[in-house]
Amino acid sequence: MLNELKLRMSREFGLRIGMAVAIAVFTAGTWSTGVAQATKAAEKPHEVYTPIPGFDTTSIDTGVDPCTDFYKFACGKFAANHPIPADQAGVDQFYALYNVNTQALNGILTKAAAGGAGRSPDEQKIGDYFKACMDTELIDAKGLAPVEPLLKKIDALTSREQFPALIGELQRMGVNVFFGYGQQQDYKDATKQIAFVIQAGLGMPEKDYYLRTGAKDETLRQQYVTHVAKMLELSGTTPEQAAKDAKNIMAFETDLAKASMGVVDLREPEKTYHMQPIATFEATIPGVNFGAFQDAIHSPRVSELNNTTPDFLPAMIKASHAVDLETLKAYMRYEVLTKFAGRLPKKFDAENFDFYGRKLYGQPEQAARWKRCSNSVNGALGEALGKVYVEQYFSADSQAKMVQMVSDIEAAMDRDIDQLDWMSAATKARAKEKLHAVANKIGYPDKFRDYSKLEIKPDDALGNQERAEAFENDRQLNKIGKPVDHSEWGMTPPEVNAYYNPSMNDINFPAGILQPSFYDPSQDDAVNYGHIGAVIGHELTHGFDDEGKKFDAQGNLSDWWTAEDTKKFVARTDCVVSEYGNFVAVDDVKVNGKLTLGENTADNGGLVLAYMAYLDRAKKNGVDLMAKKDGYTAPQRFYIGYAQNWCENARPEQVRNQVLTDPHSPDHFRANGAIVNQPGFAPAFGCKKGAPMAPVNSCRVW
């Protein structure tokens, strides 16, 4: 099953999706990438990771004029100080803290895996999951046996009429075949939890990887076909048949890609909301026993659902009838091998990483097994592991400080709404209603999940993954038709990220991100409001960006703006689209201004709010803004802190993939693009009018 649509949307709204999500994907095994060589169960971290301080003087390049390129001034020495390790697609503040967190999780898990009578039930599960994942000798010895039951069911298919039940069984274990099915809050009635279907089934990140022209894209497609053939060959298919199957799979997936919506359209909720009675939906897929699929995936039979991408399923069925049965079986077999490659012998592991890690993201080596397994436990048992993590690594003082900062920044937005000269009183009143209804979630959930019914064994790595996927699938689908639990989180406590959920109308800050460099208790408010304060403002602004503005205070998709205010809003956001759309990210690839509009708006708005909140807090605390620390005044430290959120050293492949698929702009443009529109920046650094980085306020939305 796919993640909930609301979580999918939340992450698009979130702070950082590019490198941070790629990290999680390539280590947790959700795309089942692997290592190039086996790792013994006793493997230990070979490097001690330390956090980057909140104010990183070693990254500042004083030889660069801050009024010319502020990113290069604040982060100019970061790349030299942080060369990209062979097991990473890049280095940035997120990855630095991710490594620190992974190290902490590994310490917890190593202790839990040692066993002993004193382990709690949750410690037994996280310890045994980790132990089984780390035991590569046993994984190699078992060969394909753990996955053979699924492969045999695929081989036994004799007609397309048998497909729905098996597709449901595979999707219940997280295998990405044909289409997606899941649970979401109803866009038009946020009190309801409904079922949805959505496009899926592609082996590459999204549709344009199949359709773009150019030498690099052609080469990547050829590499993908070679990779698919190799995976099938490793599982026992003859080389000749594997090559034929891979070519046919590519043709089939290309047809799916042609029927898929693009990443820009998927950002627009009104384009992905099509409620249909189940009879109407089933009429669009004649001959398909959808009830058998629902039973197999453990979904309740529903009377209606959201047909998120209504053109996709009919096209998918047409495409599946245009190829022979053996191609579809090979396609399903490949997806199973891909899903579980990280729990299969090293030849599968290595081949899968070679394409998804090395060729797609330019990463020379896979991360050590201990990293992958630690984060795999976080993915499967995140709140069980997170509970221990919070007890050891998240202080009450940090939570209290965050509560204060959130309050300060929400108050700043309240004042900022009053100051808008382009918005009518009617829309301002509704904006404040929504602002005051935002729920703030900080650190960890009030109640942790119950994993007592999930069976975890110390010697069954692949089975543990299957059961964990099925457990989460069942938990999600069991929500359909039931009241919404507003206390639930969409991220685990150790995650280095944050998000806004429009249907919940809440902002969420896991404990994992509330550490240096994003929140550093040893630094002053100027730095922390620049770092995590801008993150808070970023997430809050998402409630009012080009997507968030479409949802009201209760989380319903509802137009609460006057027509004239919407017209003025669009004029301002069009300016942002144009500004960022002219940035060249890598080679001849420009930033997609429309795709990144929400994140760029949140960066700009979040920085404004954080600075307003800081000035107010400094006044209350009697801070001398002109007093220097580390050679910089408080406003200067604020802006340096903000820019250093985005210090990065990334491989070209990583940047290219980010620009093509990610709603976040590359980090250089996130820093400069936001700072250039800030009225407080020029006075802080003495930038004269007309300087390249002097604020122009031409693209300010909020």
Give residue-wise pLDDT tens across range 459-495. 999 999 999 999 999 999 999 999 999 999 999 999 9
Asked if 437 and 304 sit in the same domain, the reply is: no
| Domain around 535 | 400-441+524-685
Is residue 146 within 8 Å of residue 336, measured between CB atoms?
Answer: no
Q: Is there a single domain that holds both residue 248 and residue 336?
A: yes
| Residue 338 is assigned to a structural domain of this protein | yes
In a domain, 484, yes or no: no
Average pLDDT over residues 53-58: 97
Is position 372 within any domain? no
Q: Are residues 307 and 420 in the same domain?
A: no
Across the range 241-256, mean pLDDT stands at 98
Judged against a pLDDT cut of 70, whether residue 169 lies above it is answered with yes
| Residue 4 predicted with pLDDT over 80 | no
322 and 177 in a single domain? The answer is: yes
The domain that holds 661 is classified in CATH as 3.40.390.10
What total of structural domains would you count in the chain?
Answer: 2
SS3 90: strand
- In the predicted structure, residue 32 carries a pLDDT above the cut 50: no
Return the closest-CA partner of residue 476 out of 295, 275, 277, 297: 297
Averaged pLDDT, 435-454: 97
- Whole-angstrom distance, CA of residue 61 vs CA of residue 224: 41
**pLDDT at position 700:** 83
Looking at the domain assignment, is residue 665 inside a domain?
Answer: yes
**Confidence check: pLDDT of 34 > 60:** no
* pLDDT (tens digit per residue) in 383-402: 999 999 999 999 999 999 99
Regarding whether 405 and 287 lie in a shared domain, the answer is no
What is the Cα–Cα distance from 677 to 189, expressed in whole angstroms? 37
Let me know whether 298 and 186 are in one domain.
yes
Residue 12 has pLDDT above 70, yes or no: no
> Does some domain include residue 599?
yes
Say what the pLDDT of residue 596 is. 96
Domain boundary, last residue among 301, 327, 343 = 343
CATH classification at residue 174: 1.10.1380.10
d(CA 465, CA 340): 8
Answer yes or no: are the C-beta atoms of 19 and 658 closer than 8 Å: yes
Q: What's the pLDDT at 6?
A: 34
- Alpha carbon of 118 to those of 114, 132, 386, 450, 451: distances in Å? 11, 20, 19, 19, 18
When pLDDT is averaged across residues 77-106 and rounded to a whole number, the result is 96
Question: Is residue 63, in this structure, part of any structural domain at all?
Answer: no
State how far the Cα of 366 lies from the Cα of 34, in Å rounded to an integer: 7
Q: Is residue 415 part of a domain?
A: yes
Q: What pLDDT, in 10s, does the model give residues 223-239?
A: 999 999 999 999 999 99
Where is the domain boundary, 343, 368, 391? 343
**Is the domain of 163 the same as that of 303?**
yes
Sheet holding 179-185, edge to edge: 179-185, 193-199, 304-307, 275-277
Q: What is the pLDDT of residue 11?
A: 30
Does 574 share its domain with 659? Answer: yes
> What is the average per-residue pLDDT within 370-376?
97
Residue type, 285: I
With cut-offs at 50, 70 and 90, classify the pLDDT of residue 47: confident
Q: Which residues of 285-307 are buried (b: 16+ CB within 10 A; e: fewer)?
A: beebebbbbbbbbbbeebeebbb
Residues 409 and 334 in one domain: no
Same domain, 317 and 422: no
Per-residue pLDDT band at 690 (split at 50, 70, 90): confident
The answer to whether residues 530 and 660 belong to one domain is yes
Quick one: pLDDT at residue 46?
66
- The mean pLDDT value of the chain amounts to 92
Helix axes 382-393, 121-134, angle to 10 degrees: 110
Q: Is pLDDT at 21 greater than 60 in this prediction?
A: no
**Residues 645 and 556 both lie in one domain:** yes
Domain boundary among 327, 343, 359: 343
Instruction: Let me know if residue 175 belongs to a domain.
Output: yes
pLDDT digits (tens, 9 = 90+) for 516-531: 999 999 999 999 999 9
